[in-house]
Amino acid sequence: MKSDIWFDDHEQDYDQLEPIHACLKAELKWLAVADVMEYLDILQNLATEAKNITKICKNTHEGLDALIDDFYGKWTFSGTSQRIEESRLNSLSYALSYRTGSDLPLALILTHVLQKSDFNACIVVFETCLMVLVKMSEGEGYLIDPASGQQSWYLKAENLSEEENPDAFQVIPNDGLYKLFLAHQKWAFISENKNYQALNCIELLIDITGDDPYERRDRGYLLRNINCSEMAREDLEYFINECPDDPAIELIQHQLEELEHNINTIH
């Protein structure tokens, strides 16, 4: 089954797409040979299979159990302990191809499939971990580990105020998921010394956040690594002016002095 999502920059902006589609579109920036339409078709086929599974179940709870069983059983999605580059494990296209990855791409895929089967699903932070929450009613639902499929029942006590009994999790909004995906990939690329891929992530983040000083700082660091000294200086000076009390300011100033020396030497 062919997907009807089209990734023409003039047709659909990132903020007009579902989070998982926006993240896949972003991967075009650093995976030039990726056939994204192939991955969209995989997603659509998974969603179709999921609907076929749940429509024959007696109730929502049974449908969820059946879908989770197939997602981690028949479809073999799971986390991995193998030594694989973090940037690959963070990649949606890699997760769709090899049915493994880090928590975020697995959570994005699972949430997408659940939502297409009419479950009230979202991605949350629970006790510092990324989890998929499937709400069954107000204050009740399942928390699902995206790497293993392990479920735990969530129940919010009744007759208490929000202050007395806040949710134990924080829902990540759609635009937050896209930013989190880019941030994860940015740091993975930086740790792997993939400067140009990391720069692509930062450019997309700056498109969202505007002149965020920390993104400008990171861009300056990367530009310095690829010997774009003039541009790096502009970004690092911007960070110093915007965040003069940041603990890293002394290091940034030292980097600027090195840049000035290099620029003067070249001239």
Number of structural domains the chain divides into: 2
100 and 229 fall within a common domain: no
pLDDT at 43: 94
Q: Is 264 or 30 the better-scoring residue by pLDDT?
A: 30
153 and 24 fall within a common domain: yes
pLDDT at 160: 52
CA dihedral sign of residues 197, 198, 199, 201: positive
Tell me how far apart the alpha carbons of residues 86 and 185 are, in angstroms, rounded to a whole number: 8
Q: How confident is the model at residue 260 (pLDDT cuts 50, 70, 90)?
A: confident
39 and 167 fall within a common domain: yes
The tokens describing 195, both together, are 């400067």
pLDDT at 254: 86
Element spanning 135, H or E: strand 129-137
Could you say which of 113, 143, 171 is where a domain stops? 171
What are the φ/ψ torsions at residue 78 (nearest 5 degrees)? -170, 165
26 and 157 fall within a common domain: yes
Q: How confident is the model at residue 267 (pLDDT cuts 50, 70, 90)?
A: very low
Q: Is residue 105 part of a domain?
A: yes
pLDDT at 257: 83
25 and 145 fall within a common domain: yes
Q: Is-contact 169 131, C-beta < 8 A?
A: yes
DSSP secondary structure letter of residue 90: T
Could you say which of 150, 171, 192 is where a domain stops? 171
63 and 122 fall within a common domain: yes
User: Who's near 145: CB < 8 A, 6+ residues apart?
Assistant: 129, 131, 151
Express each pLDDT in 36-77 by its tens digit: 888 999 999 999 999 999 999 899 999 999 999 999 999 999
pLDDT above 50 for 10: no
Q: Is residue 190 part of a domain?
A: no
**CATH code, domain carrying 59:** 3.10.620
Return the biggest CA–CA distance within the chain. Answer: 76
Look up the domain containing 260 and give its range: 211-266
